[in-house]
Structures are given as C-alpha cells and as structure tokens.
Amino acid sequence: MARAAQRLHVTPSAVSNSLARLRVTLGDPLVTRQGRGIVPTPRALELAPLLERTLRELKDAISAGPFDAPRTTRMFTLALAEAGQIAWVPRIAELMRQEMPCARLRVVGIDSLVALGDLSSSEVDLHIGVQAEGPGMYAKLLVKERTTLVARRNHPALTGRLSRRRLGALQHVMVQMVPSRAFRDRASVAYERAGIPREVVLAVPTFTAAAAVAASTDLVATLPTSFLATHGSRLGLCSLKGPVPVHDVPISLCWHERTHTDPAMVAFRTLVRRAVA
C-alpha cells in the first residue's frame, strides 16, 4: 500500500480509502492477503487489461496532435431548415468529400433541433438559421436571405399592376417549422410595418409544402429566393412584383460553448462557412 501511495503521490490512507470505495462499487475485494503481501482477485485480473487499454486511449487522446481533417472519422450533426438543406447541403457535402473524406455528416431539421435539446445538448453540433439566443451561444452572420412572394403561373395577381389593395386581398400559406401558438411570422411583421393586410389561411411545416400549395392553388407563399431559384421553374412558380414588403432574414452559423474550442468543430464550422457564404 505504501509503495502504491508513493507511485501515485498520495498518502497511504488515501489509497486505502479509494480501495475501500472500489470494493463497495464493484462488490469484490480486488486484492487479498497472501503471506506477507497481497495478490489480485480473479475480478481484478479481469479488469486489469481493460483499465490499461482505457488509460492508454485516454493518454493518446490528451496528447493527440493537431486535428487531421483527411483522416478524421467524426460524425458531425448540422441542423437547418429544408430550404437550406436544398440550397447548401450539397455544397457542404462536396467540400467534406474533398477535405474530410472519412468523416460523416448527419443533417436534421429545425423541429429535430428543438426536440433534441437545441445546441446545448450533445446531439447537434451546428445550426444554420436565425441566430440562436441563450447562455453559452455563439453566432456568426453568414448571409442575408431575401424572400420573395410567389404564385402559380397564370395566377390572376400576375395580370396587370399589383397594387397595395390587390396585394392585401391575397390569401397566404405560411411556413411554421416548429408548431407553436406563440409563433410570430417575420413576413407578417413586415406586412404590418408596411400597413398591408396579410391573411394567412394555411400553415405548413416546410417550404416545399408551401411551394406545392402555391403551385396548385390561388394561395401565395413567401419563399427564400434561393429556394425559388432551385425549384421555382420546375414547380411553375413566378415571383410577384409590386409593393411587396421587403423581408430579409439574417442567416447565422450558431454553436454552443461546449464545442467552441474543439479543433474538429472549429474545422467543421470553417468548412460550412465557406460552403454557404
């Protein structure tokens, strides 16, 4: 016991107390007396190689060199709305294939981000969207995403001049990614500020659903311009010109302090920022 205490740079009583706690936790004496010395029990002999391997891996992790992007096998989890998934994930995936070919990427939606406990949990590493708020949150502005009001091809609003009165008479489909009665639609705020009525008659969880509704009905939808550029022509959607209130959405890269200094996460954030901005 004295030699063990000397090697560990603690007192013999500290070693004795620690051994007593381990015996209670493991339900085994771990060592027994034999002659003038002690010998390990079968349970201790069983645990020894496992502990040795664990300590070796811990030592290797602590003394690891710089982050090796081409060889990392980490899985990164990114949360963003489905419009961003369509516009940006292909570019992110391509950059990862080039620079982190052994890594894996998991993409989740905003509803999953909320359900998994937001960025403070260990489930999500990075979020692209409206700036996250709260203790321990970091954010960096990526782009300002402009929205546009769309309608189906041959919609009556596309004929003649779109006046404020005609604009206020339109019925809208709204995107609500995380259901909540307290949800405050930013587009509606822009219409209020402009003094133009905005009647929302339908709420859907994705931009794709809103686009599909607008493409097949007389309802109109407010979509990101990046989404319209990708899917507008195929769906037969047209942008409405006129006194439509300008509505820009600041899109930020958001993360939590738990990943702020991690070299792998720093590299991943840099990669995502390059792909998006």
Q: What is the pLDDT of residues 55-111, one digit of tens each?
A: 776 776 666 567 899 999 999 999 999 888 988 999 999 999 999 999 999 999 988
Residue 141 pLDDT > 70, yes or no? yes
Q: Which residues contact 19 (CB under 8 A, 6 or more apart)?
A: 30, 31
Q: Domain 73-141+258-276 maps to which CATH number in 3.40.50.1820, 3.40.50.300, 3.30.1490.20, 3.40.190.10? A: 3.40.190.10
What is the per-residue DSSP string for 170-183? -EEEEE-SS--TT-
CATH superfamily of the domain spanning 143-250: Periplasmic binding protein-like II (3.40.190.10)
- pTM exceeds cut of 0.85: no
- CA–CA distance, 226 with 45 (Å, rounded to integer): 62
Q: Do domains 2-62 and 143-250 have the same CATH topology?
A: no
Question: Hey, what CATH topology would domain 2-62 get?
Answer: Arc Repressor Mutant, subunit A (1.10.10)
Quickly count: other Cβ atoms within 10 Å of residue 183's Cβ: 12
Q: What is the pLDDT of residues 252-267, one digit of tens each?
A: 999 999 999 999 999 9
Q: Residue ranges of the alpha helices (H) in the chain?
A: 2-8, 12-26, 42-62, 82-99, 110-115, 164-168, 186-194, 207-216, 225-235, 263-276
Q: What is the pLDDT of residue 273?
A: 95
**Domain residue ranges in the chain:** 2-62, 73-141+258-276, 143-250
